Amino acid sequence: MESSWLRALVVLALVVVAGAIFTRKLLLVYRLIRLGAGPVPLAPPGERLRDLVAQVLGHRKVLRRPLAGVLHLFIFWGFLVLLTTIIQAMGEAFSPGWTLPVIGQPPLLAALQDLFIALVLIGVGMALWMRLVSRPRRLEGQDRRGAYLILGFIGGIMITLLLSRAGQIVLESPAWAPGAALSGFVAGAIAGAPRAVVRGVFEVAWWGHLLIILIFLTWIPEGKHLHLITLVPNILLKKARPRGALAPIDIEQAEHLGISSIEHSTWKDMLDAFACMECGRCVEVCPANATGKELDPRRLHTDLRTHLTRVGSARLAGGEAADAPALVGGVFSEAFLWQCLTCGACVEECPAANDHIDKIVGMRRHLVMEEARVPDTMGDALRSLEARGHPFRGAGLSRTAWTAGVEVKTLADGGRAEWLLWVGCASALNERNHGSLRALVRVLQRAGVEAAILGDEEACTGDPARRMGNEYLFQQLAQQNIETLNRYGVRKILTACPHCYNTFKNEYPQFGGQYEVWHHTQLLARLVEERRLAPSEAVPLTVTFHDPCYLGRHNGEYDAPRRVLAAIPGVRTVEMAQCRERGFCCGAGGGLYWVEDRVGQRINHVRTDHATATGAQVVATACPFCMLMLEDGVAAREAKIRPMDVAELLGRSLAGGSAERSGG
Amino acid sequence: MDIIVCLKQVVDPELPARDFAIDPATRRQVREGRPLVLSTYDENALEVALQMKDHQGAKVTALTIAPQATVGDTVRLALAMGADEAVVIDDPRSPELSGPARARMLAAVIRKIGRYDLVLTGCESADLVERLIAPLLAEELGAACVTFVARIDAADGPLVVRRQADEGYHVVEARLPAVLSVTSDEANRPRLPKVKDIVTAKRKPVQIWTPGDLGSMADDGGVEVRDVAIPQRTGKCEFLTGDPAQQAEALALRLRELKLL
Amino acid sequence: MPGILVVAATAEGALSRSSLELVGGARALDASLGSGVSAALLGHGLGSTGAAEALHQHGVATVYRVDHPALTAGQSDAYLAAAEQVARTAKPDVVLVGADTVGREVAPRLAHRLAGALVTECTELAVEGGAVVVRRQAYGGRALATLVVRGRPAVLSVKPRSLDAPEPAPVAGSVVDVDAQIDPNALPTRVREVLREKSEVGLEDAQVVVSGGRGLGGPDGFKMIEELAAMLGGAVGSSRPPADAGWVPISWQIGQTGKTVRPALYVAVGISGATQHVAGMAGSRTIVAINRDPEAPIFGVAHLGLVGDYREIIPPLIARIKELKAR
């Protein structure tokens, strides 16, 4: 191949200019991120590396959407492989005949390169198909022009590459040519043209290729393609916290409570914002968004990014962006913030490993603790929590009302047992859940498991307060409960409420409360498998299981309840389309049990429809909140399906009848 | 403007029926182990005072009579909501005080505080529902009195308030000083305290006085509580039978018997 | 002349039903005490209304009449001054005041001025062993207190509608005109205006609440509910489905995510009784449920249950209540 000092000089100049623009933009991003607060404790390195391999190289989450996943996999791996062609081209520009060190330029590499040129082009085609024909909902609201431009860049890079390779084959017959089938095919098509024309095609393609790459490079640090750079650090800098846990704040010391301005966010929040690729997977799985509400989890990151860039740039320049809207109430409306169920569907789905819940709860913390602005009925729940230790204003029941007809001791009465059965307000103070509790106690007694309760000494774990943003009240309740538990020397906690489960397991350790915590379905599964329970009576029902978010996504327990159901003779299980990781919240999470769901469709009605669509007779669940929401949904839809707790179903199948009529 | 808000601490009116009990010795509700809250309408009264403070400036003093050992949360809540200071009359016998005795004691404290333009309180306490504190305070203090005030229409010139009445509202003009009892209204829904204010409330001044500081308080008032009975609920719903007209007839008569007509 | 004095405050000069109820209560006490019943008839333009005659007709011998232009609707200070003047003239042992808008302000202040004993919001009056014994609700209706009133004069305010209006028992009576010497300019409060709005009495404060649910079938059903509520002097509420469906304003919703009410009487019509709703009304003193489904959970919290179609039950109920109230 021909070369000259002029070519080298032009290439060098272009690379330097593009590189400078790129670096300058990237540096701004870096400085913006550094505006965030720290430190952020990080997960163990092994875990972070594992995630990197699975999510980046393996595309684990991306591949959950087959079309988009495969096309992205093609493009991603295509770029990794074709990086070799770029390096090769650059090298040749400066030193003719240069080849990659060690590897050289064997036909096998050329074959691989050609394969990926084809795959990337197929990927671009699939992407166009998706945007023009199949049009999934999640892509609405994405920056369309940006997306087409990017696809144009990628397609352009591939076509120019292909043409320059074809030209090179025709002009120089390089040693690698036999491997490059696709390039060879194109070369065959142009080989008949005059040499000068081929030369022209080659030059245009070669320079075009270089220019598009460099323009693309300068574009990367703006918009969604920044994830090419930010995604790897975002995954490598994963927070050291279980999914279900929120970070505590030191109320006495903190200068601000929650997030009302960019500098209150952590640098990780900001990195998240820059790592968002706007794929909209979060939008697609968000139950609030799916039912027509304002909440849009993608906007949480994209709008944060825009706001951060605007306000942060001004601040870096030593000023203030005077006309920028307020973060809370401006960039994000209060309605937007109060519609989040903290169900974690977006977090589970996000290929960039972003955390939405922290940011929303952070802004709620500001609203509740600094502004005392909270939806009225949530405020009532908070007041009730404060005054009487439970959020169920108007509940005329005592915490032990459910024990009528079963034998349960309280620790105060000298009850000593292996397990503390933590009842939880949602179970104790709502009659519908009393049957589930009694079924559970009877089943445990059949298995010879001893469990005692705290009775009136129980107070709410604080989960609703924490998710509503009242960290102060949460910490008070946590301290009070830890004191009570430690006074009785409690070590093993069993609970039928996934919210209590999550709080004990993932959040109380933040305050020194270390317990062995089991959800009732986990213990029931164990008892069945150890044959301490022998479900023998047939329960001839078709059952679909509704995954409680705080058992499933937040704690990864999808199997225990299903193992219990599978052990019940006669039960035939069917799954809803939205199950396990894709489970659809009942509508009660995030403290939203206490506000009326009046925008768009009701989440619990939609969830009831999912269950009804399976044709099941029973929708089983394992959470007292889900139970109340499903009962409500079934009543509203006048559906035939019946919500039951897993323990109630198991109780029915134990010979000798541990069952009672309940619910309905 | 100086505003004094009289607050009463009561046993949670939402207490489950099982926990509601009368102490045969005092003939008062058993308080031990029960959650104590601010009496419902007192929070509305406090909110009205705080809104006046927000809009035109006022010094708001929260005043309560309660055993000091149990009073903490109530007074702290008032301070956290925005009251400037608090005065607590530490009286272990206070839960047993009769309404008139309580009013006399409050009046003695208010006279001792000295500076006030307005005294606010809830229109009734959530426990005894006597509705007499504001009128008695007005007499004791020689102040104007309006009860069941839903909202304050004007306070910059003469005080104009809206009193809830059987037939609608009375727009009442009152001289200062005045004692107002406040009922709930859309406009006086009690605010939630901000956490920052909860924290700073811990540093706000709370004066603790004993009844002895107030001179003698002759009690009784010539009324003796003979008995406080809890009507037993039979538990089951009683179904009225017959055709619709007969059921309607039976229901009308039952409502009359229950003095609900 | 010691005895029982009924404070009959009139707004437009005519005797009110609640004043008659007080007369009924006074006569019942008098049957044991035997000290005579007199009345303080307070108002303006009383000469032409026949109010004094009506009192004589119902067994009140002596009527102390204060006729003054300041005695108009809501002028508590004027009524207080007039009542005080009469009480100082009549020197009664027992004074009965209706616990209405004015009476709630007058009774405690009158007791204070007369240095008497005071019990407010009585629902029953009796004489036991020569002593005046009264009953009143306490603790939001959860308990009934019985009090012995020894102090004299005993000023008792009586909750409207808790005593029966008496049968006529005509006596030959006299009218004593009392000059109350009220200086309207010296009164510390003045009613500028009476706003006769359709009572916006907050749902949360209403003593009677009639609520409708999905079972009403549509917004039209609420017309019947509103009529019944008006007849009972109460407010209208709803469970969630009507509020959702837009049949009624959202502000009417009672329940966990709506308002909480604890009235003396709660009538649930066509409401199934979901936990959501029950949380907002379970504290009501008397709960009446009307529902077609005998298995509806609302009957689990109701005291009185009527199984049937509300369209067939409510019209005769309204008619019957009207009759009973007219008596």
Chain A residues with CB under 8 Å of B37 CB are 387-388
Residue A46 DSSP one-character state: H
Which chains neighbour B (Cβ–Cβ under 8 Å, 3 or more pairs)? A, C
Distance CA C124, CA C146 (A): 9
CB distance C196 to B167 below 8 Å: yes
Cis peptide before B158 (omega within 30 of 0): no
Distance CA C319, CA B10 (A): 41
Q: Region A541-552: what's the mean pLDDT?
A: 98
pLDDT band at C240 (very low <50, low <70, confident <90, very high): confident
Residues A306 and A441 in one domain: no
Point out which residues pair with C94 in neighbouring strands.
C4, C154
Q: Which H/E stretch holds residue C65?
A: strand C62-67
Residue A658: count of CB within 10 angstroms of its CB: 23
Distance CA C261, CA C239 (A): 12
Is A644 part of any domain? yes
Q: In what order do the strands lie in the sheet with A516-519?
A: A451-452, A419-422, A492-495, A516-519
pLDDT digits (tens, 9 = 90+) for A280-306: 999 999 999 999 999 999 999 999 999
How many domains would you assign to chain A?
Answer: 3
The interface residues of chain A toward chain C in range 505-564, judged by CB-CB distance below 8 A, are none
pLDDT band at A322 (very low <50, low <70, confident <90, very high): confident
Is A21 part of any domain? yes
* Sequence spans of domains, chain B: 2-214
User: What are the start-end ranges of the H helices in B120-221?
Assistant: 133-141, 195-201
* Helix, strand, coil percent values for chain B (each to nearest 5): 35, 30, 35
End-to-end CA distance of chain C: 32
User: Is some CB atom of chain C closer than 8 A to the CB atom of A636?
Assistant: yes
Distance CA A339, CA A589 (A): 10
- The reply to whether C4-186 and C203-326 are identical in fold is yes
Angle subtended at Cα C208 by Cα C300 and Cα B102, rounded to the nearest 5 degrees = 105
CB distance A40 to A269 below 8 Å: no
User: Is some CB atom of chain A closer than 8 A to the CB atom of C279?
Assistant: yes
Residues A441 and A522 in one domain: yes
CB distance C303 to C141 below 8 Å: no
- State the amino acid at position A629 in one-letter form: M
Q: Quick one: tokens of A526? A: 């164990």
From the list C138, C202, C324, the residue facing B129 with the nearest CB is C138
Nearest C-alpha in C relative to B147: C105
Angle subtended at Cα B80 by Cα B77 and Cα B84, rounded to the nearest 5 degrees = 110
Q: Region C282-304: what's the mean pLDDT?
A: 90
User: Is some CB atom of chain C closer than 8 A to the CB atom of A628?
Assistant: yes
User: Is some CB atom of chain B closer than 8 A to the CB atom of A256?
Assistant: no
Instruction: Pick C203-326's CATH classification: 3.90.45.10, 3.40.50.1220, 3.10.20.740, 1.10.3720.10.
Output: 3.40.50.1220
Residues A185 and A206 in one domain: yes
pLDDT digits (tens, 9 = 90+) for A129-146: 999 998 888 888 777 888
Distance CA A119, CA A115 (A): 6
Q: Is the pLDDT of residue A656 over 70?
A: no
Q: Region C219-235: what's the mean pLDDT?
A: 92
Work out the burial of residue C222: count CB atoms within 10 Å of its CB; fewer than 13 is exposed, 13-18 middle, 19 or more buried.
buried
Cβ–Cβ gap A371/B16 under 8 Å: no
Q: Quick one: tokens of A525? A: 């599964």
Residue A234 DSSP one-character state: H
Q: Quick one: tokens of C321? A: 């209540």
Residues A352 and A401 in one domain: no
Residue A595 DSSP one-character state: S
pLDDT band at A613 (very low <50, low <70, confident <90, very high): very high
The interface residues of chain B toward chain C in range 40-79, judged by CB-CB distance below 8 A, are none
The SS3 of residue C147 is strand
pLDDT digits (tens, 9 = 90+) for A446-466: 999 999 999 999 999 999 999
End-to-end CA distance of chain B: 44
* Residue-level pLDDT at C146: 96
Cβ–Cβ gap C144/B129 under 8 Å: no
Beta-carbon contacts of A14 under 8 Å, excluding residues fewer than 6 positions away, are A210, A211, A214
CB distance B215 to A405 below 8 Å: no
Picking from A24-28, A517-521, A542-546, B165-169, which range would have the lowest pLDDT averaged per residue? B165-169
Is A659 part of any domain? no
Q: Which residue, A268, A261, A459, A282, is CA-closest to A365? A: A261
* Residue-level pLDDT at A663: 37
Chain A residues with CB under 8 Å of B189 CB are 376
The SS3 of residue A192 is coil
Chain B residues with CB under 8 Å of C162 CB are 259
The domain boundary, picked from A318, A340, A370, lies at A370
In angstroms, the separation between the Cα of residue A613 and the nearest Cα of chain C is 23
Nearest C-alpha in C relative to B259: C162
CB distance A464 to A663 below 8 Å: no
Cβ–Cβ gap B229/C208 under 8 Å: no
Query: For residue C173, which phi and psi values (nearest 5 degrees)?
Result: -125, 175
pLDDT digits (tens, 9 = 90+) for A106-134: 899 999 999 999 999 999 999 999 999 98
Query: For residue B168, which phi and psi values (nearest 5 degrees)?
Result: 145, -115
Q: Which domain holds residue A88?
A: 5-34+65-219
Residue C62 DSSP one-character state: E
Distance CA C41, CA C16 (A): 11
Cβ–Cβ gap A371/B195 under 8 Å: no
Q: Quick one: tokens of C129? A: 């062993």
Q: Is the pLDDT of residue B244 over 50?
A: yes
Query: For residue B217, which phi and psi values (nearest 5 degrees)?
Result: -125, 90
Q: Region A494-506: what's the mean pLDDT?
A: 98
Q: Which residue, C31, C1, C44, C29, is CA-closest to C182? A: C44
pLDDT digits (tens, 9 = 90+) for A333-346: 999 999 999 999 99
For the question of an ipTM over 0.85, the answer is yes
User: Is some CB atom of chain B closer than 8 A to the CB atom of A395?
Assistant: yes
pLDDT digits (tens, 9 = 90+) for A156-180: 999 999 999 999 999 999 889 999 9
In angstroms, the separation between the Cα of residue C204 and the nearest Cα of chain B is 8
Work out the burial of residue B87: count CB atoms within 10 Å of its CB; fewer than 13 is exposed, 13-18 middle, 19 or more buried.
buried
From the list C276, C281, C282, the residue facing A632 with the nearest CB is C276
Is A95 part of any domain? yes
* Residue-level pLDDT at A592: 97
Q: Which residue, A311, A289, A305, A292, is CA-closest to A354? A: A305
Distance CA A315, CA A319 (A): 5
Beta-carbon contacts of B114 under 8 Å, excluding residues fewer than 6 positions away, are none
* Residue-level pLDDT at A165: 94
B2-214 is classed in which CATH architecture? 3-Layer(aba) Sandwich (3.40)
In angstroms, the separation between the Cα of residue A361 and the nearest Cα of chain B is 16
Q: Is the pLDDT of residue A661 over 70?
A: no
Q: Which residue, A581, A518, A497, A583, is CA-closest to A544? A: A583
In angstroms, the separation between the Cα of residue C314 and the nearest Cα of chain A is 25
From the list A396, A596, A631, the residue facing C283 with the nearest CB is A396
* Sequence spans of domains, chain C: 4-186, 203-326
Residue A305 belongs to domain with CATH number:
1.10.1060
Point out which residues pair with C212 in neighbouring strands.
C238, C269
The domain boundary, picked from A318, A342, A370, lies at A370
In angstroms, the separation between the Cα of residue B202 and the nearest Cα of chain C is 31
Work out the burial of residue A277: count CB atoms within 10 Å of its CB; fewer than 13 is exposed, 13-18 middle, 19 or more buried.
buried
CB distance C149 to B223 below 8 Å: yes
Integer CA distances (angstroms), A516 to A417, A493, B48, B260, in order: 14, 6, 49, 55
- State the amino acid at position A541 in one-letter form: L
From the list A382, A388, A470, the residue facing B12 with the nearest CB is A388
Beta-carbon contacts of A57 under 8 Å, excluding residues fewer than 6 positions away, are none
User: What are the start-end ranges of the H helices in A412-519?
Assistant: 425-428, 434-446, 463-468, 471-487, 498-502
Residues A269 and A346 in one domain: yes
Point out which residues pair with C253 in neighbouring strands.
C238
C4-186 is classed in which CATH architecture? 3-Layer(aba) Sandwich (3.40)
* Residue-level pLDDT at A499: 98
In angstroms, the separation between the Cα of residue B6 and the nearest Cα of chain C is 18
Point out which residues pair with B63 in neighbouring strands.
B6, B87
User: Is some CB atom of chain C closer than 8 A to the CB atom of B236?
Assistant: no
Distance CA B190, CA B50 (A): 10
pLDDT band at C274 (very low <50, low <70, confident <90, very high): confident
Beta-carbon contacts of B173 under 8 Å, excluding residues fewer than 6 positions away, are B158, B159, B160, C189, C190, C191, C192
pLDDT digits (tens, 9 = 90+) for B95-137: 888 999 999 999 999 999 999 999 999 999 989 999 999 999 9
From the list A396, A594, A631, the residue facing C256 with the nearest CB is A594
